[in-house]
Amino acid sequence: MKGLRIGVTFIIVLTIFLLSVFQMQLRGYEKIGRVEEWTIYYEGNEDCLDMLEVFYSDDEYDYYFSCVKSDKYIIKRGFEEYSLVFALENGYIDISEIEEIIDFSKELKDNS
């Protein structure tokens, strides 16, 4: 009886571990890179509206995607999970850190 309880407990713990490791893949996201302790995930499908989307701005540049897809990026560390836009606006990651990982364009602001 004691061995059965240990076996069932082991299976439950193993199941929880495997679900936590593969949770992003189960939700349809693929891992595309790492920035410091953050992992960047992208929702795999390429369906997006064909219009420019400015997803971030700083003093010098506007950063944009060629189509509306900023909501398809998530950054994650442990149990913390944020959208790309939220993470940039709140300083969790820097735009320069993701330039090699995510394909986007930037345009110099017209400060006239």
pLDDT tens string 54-102? 999 998 999 999 888 888 999 998 888 999 999 999 999 999 999 989 9
Reference 64, options 73, 76, 51; nearest CA is 51
pLDDT tens string 25-60? 656 777 888 888 899 999 877 677 778 899 999 989
Q: Identify the pLDDT of residue 24.
A: 63
CA 4 remoteness from chain centre: 40
Q: Identify the pLDDT of residue 48.
A: 74
Q: Is residue 104 part of a domain?
A: yes
Burial of 88 per CB tally in 10 Å (0-12, 13-18, 19+)? buried
**Number of folded domains in the chain?**
1
Place of tokens 């219009």: 51
| Element (DSSP H or E) covering residue 53 | strand 53-57
Domain coverage including residue 94: 29-108
pTM for this prediction: 0.73
Q: Is residue 78 part of a domain?
A: yes
